[in-house]
Structure 1
Amino acid sequence: MVIEPKYIKIRDLLKGYLNDPEKGVYAYNGKLNIRPPYQREFRYDTKQQQAVIQTILKGFPLNIMYWSVCEDGSYEMIDGQQRTLSVCGYYWEHAFHITIDERDVLYYTNLTEEEKEKFLNYELMVYFCTGTDKEKLDWFRVINIAGERLLEQELRNAVYTGPFISDARRYFSKNQCPAYAMGQNYMKGTPIRQEYLETILVWAARHDGINGANPIDQYMALHQKDPNVEKLWNYYLQIITWVKKTFTKYRKEMKGLDWGEMYDSFSTKDVDPNELEKRIGKLMEDDEILKKSGIYRYVLSDDLRDLSFRIFDKKQKREAYERQKGVCPHCGKHFELEEMEADHIKPWSKGGTTVADNCQMLCRDCNRTKGNKY
């Protein structure tokens, strides 16, 4: 990985500026792509833009910007988009005014000749980053990105840019995108913050058997040059469609669950949605269950580990321990209180509740063994 610092004058940055809805946003003689497909949708508000220009005219330093060097010698903006657009908007588009030295409503054309020269000759500190995709991603993860910090998925988008991520953003990363329209009730976060895209990439990587420390990175690297995300989108549709058909009544506890894992594990299981709903309704009313969201996986898996139950308090544990005289009723051995765990004598699955009379203290080994039996 090569990181080369350079100073770029604003007058050079402004050359060849283009802001076109179809063609994109470019500057630096058309060589700098200011808003590549992976960049975020939002931008500075007026006060933030004004602060950028005031900083420049006062000669104060702006935070470092990061440009990625492409194979063809062009550049893509990694960090600094908001500041760059503020500079270009002020100079080319007269998009906002500033206040300086108690002078108000100062557009670029209203500046003195000295101020104009100071603005145009101001030097921006830019790091030019050259290297493999992985090297760039590792670098961007550890640097302290200035301004609006890039999210982890935004960093990945920046490194694994290509037709795949461009198409993925169309489906998963825009306000009112298709993924939002289809599954907003079941997904956590918002598309514009890349949370929808990150979630489906987690699901898809696991579905394809991609393991390791960074499965999303591996998945994106494998599919970076794919012409579109048709396979990924169809997988998402299958998941959300299955959820809606399987669970006929929507509840707030359904939002943000790992539906990808449940789809992969149970979509081929023959279930009756009406019977599932009856079980879910009954379980939702059970005060013993603390983790209501776990009910959805439990009715498919019948695995008690998917649920979280009310626990015995310290008084109930101490009373049971003294009653047993410190002896585990399963193995018959004596233990200290801290070496034992509270257990339901009559299991919850058979109607047991979290009351003192239903509490027993088991040694850790016996409790684990008992727990594995039901």
Structure 2
Amino acid sequence: MKIELKEITVRDLSEGYEDNTEGGVVGYGGKLDIRPPFQREFVYKDAQRDAVIDTASKGFPLNVMYWSVRENGEFEIIDGQQRTISLCQYVHGDFSVQIGSFKEKRAFHNLRDDEQEKLLDYPLTVYLCSGTDTEKLEWFKTINIAGAQLTDQELRNAVYHGEWVTDAKKWFSRPNCPAQAVGSKYLNGSAIRQDYLETAIKWHAPDGDIEQYMSDHQQEKSAKELWDYFSDVIDWVQACFPKYRKQMKGVPWGPLYNEHGPAVIDAAKAEEEVKRLLIDDDVTNKSGIYSYVFDGRERHLNIRKFTEKDRIEAYERQGGVCPVCKGTFAIEEMEADHIDPWHAGGKTNAANCQMLCKEDNRRKSGV
């Protein structure tokens, strides 16, 4: 992999600057993709944007930026999008800023000639990266630790860029995108930070291998297959559980659909089970209820453990004797167990607690 340090000026950066909204943002004489498909929308607040211009106008240093070199010799921004757009927008007259000793805000065309030249000649430090997809991904992860602050999915989008990523962003990554409209109640994170896209790919990818999935689809023009799958998952969830509850947000719906769909369960029966478990004090992970409804595995529910008081009371009541093997043990050699199993209605309280030796308890639990 080749990493090259380059210095450019704001004059060079802003040359040929165009914001084509959905079509992207370019600069540097049309050779720099300022907002490639993997990048989020412009998110700087006015104060942050103005601070970039004030810093540059005073000649103070801005943080280093990172560009990836494409096969055709052109570039795309990996880190520095917000600073780049702020500088280019200001030079092209999109907003005004208070600069120097002037109290009023001034647009670029309101600056004196020497002030304009100083800003246009301001040097920016850029690292250019060329290499294989694997090398770039490793490098991007490294600079991310150093402060680029891209999400894992933004890093992947940078490596596997192309028409597929562009189209996927249309479905999953724009503000008010289709995925946000139908799935925001069921997914954690946000569309603009690529969380929805990452989740959808992980659900649909064999073995959840996001990078392999993106590599396999990189040269495709449409991501509609992924959207159709995601839409089917959400439709299935709504059919299985018509009544929405906040505990449904963040449930691994994709894996559940992959294993149990597309057949729809008895919604009325499922609703009764959900209500029963929601009011059960022993169930400490309420979001796990929805996975439990399908497979009955108690690990999803994180059943409340017996307290130390419960354990001591049961141990003393038994005189340290394991009721299964009849051996006598120290309390540290025993584990608490439900006399009447939780799934059969037994509660997690002192009256329903017994102490078993570790071997018998684990044999009973199937561990």
Q: Give the TM bin, normalised by the shorter chain.
A: over 0.9
Query: What letter matches 1:51 in structure 2?
Result: A
Query: What letter matches 1:229 in structure 2?
Result: A
Bigger CA drift: 341-350 or 305-314?
305-314
Query: What letter matches 1:239 in structure 2?
Result: V
State the SS of the aligned residue for 1:161: coil
| Deviation per residue, 1:239-284 (Å, 9 max, x gap) | 1111111123222111110001111121266732222222222222
Q: 2:225 aligns with which of 214, 226, 231?
A: 231
| Deviation per residue, 1:183-231 (Å, 9 max, x gap) | 22222222112111111111112xx235xxxx21221112111111122
Q: 2:355 aligns with which of 361, 367, 371?
A: 361
CA distance in 2 between counterparts of 1:320 and 1:146 reads 54
State the SS of the aligned residue for 1:196: helix
CA distance in 1 between counterparts of 2:289 and 2:78 reads 42
Contact 1:46 1:96 in 2 (8 A): no
Alpha-carbon distance change, 333 to 249 in structure 1, aligned in 2, over 3 angstroms: same
Alpha-carbon distance change, 359 to 370 in structure 1, aligned in 2, over 3 angstroms: same
Alpha-carbon distance change, 339 to 143 in structure 1, aligned in 2, over 3 angstroms: farther
Q: 1:279 aligns with which of 266, 273, 279?
A: 273
Contact 2:93 2:107 in 1 (8 A): no
Aligned to 1:98: 98
Alpha-carbon distance change, 251 to 241 in structure 1, aligned in 2, over 3 angstroms: same
CA distance in 1 between counterparts of 2:23 and 2:248 reads 40
Contact 1:326 1:336 in 2 (8 A): yes
CA distance in 1 between counterparts of 2:280 and 2:69 reads 58
| Deviation per residue, 1:311-362 (Å, 9 max, x gap) | 2111111121222233322233333323322111111122211221211112
CA distance in 2 between counterparts of 1:243 and 1:144 reads 35
Alignment of 1:275-354 (within 5 A): 275-354=269-348
Deviation at 1:144, TM superposition (A): 4.4
CA distance in 1 between counterparts of 2:293 and 2:80 reads 49
Alignment of 1:67-78 (within 5 A): 67-78=67-78
Question: How many corresponding residue pairs?
Answer: 367
Bigger CA drift: 13-22 or 156-165?
13-22
Contact 1:163 1:227 in 2 (8 A): yes
CA distance in 1 between counterparts of 2:91 and 2:236 reads 52
CA-based RMSD: 2.0
Structure 2 unaligned runs (5+)?
Answer: none
CA distance in 1 between counterparts of 2:32 and 2:356 reads 67
CA distance in 1 between counterparts of 2:171 and 2:22 reads 18
User: If the length of structure 1 is used for normalisation, what is the TM-score?
Assistant: 0.92
Contact 1:2 1:131 in 2 (8 A): yes
Q: Percent identity?
A: 50
Contact 2:171 2:178 in 1 (8 A): yes
Query: What letter matches 1:151 in structure 2?
Result: T
User: If the length of structure 2 is used for normalisation, what is the TM-score?
Assistant: 0.93
Bigger CA drift: 361-370 or 125-134?
361-370
Alpha-carbon distance change, 269 to 369 in structure 1, aligned in 2, over 3 angstroms: farther
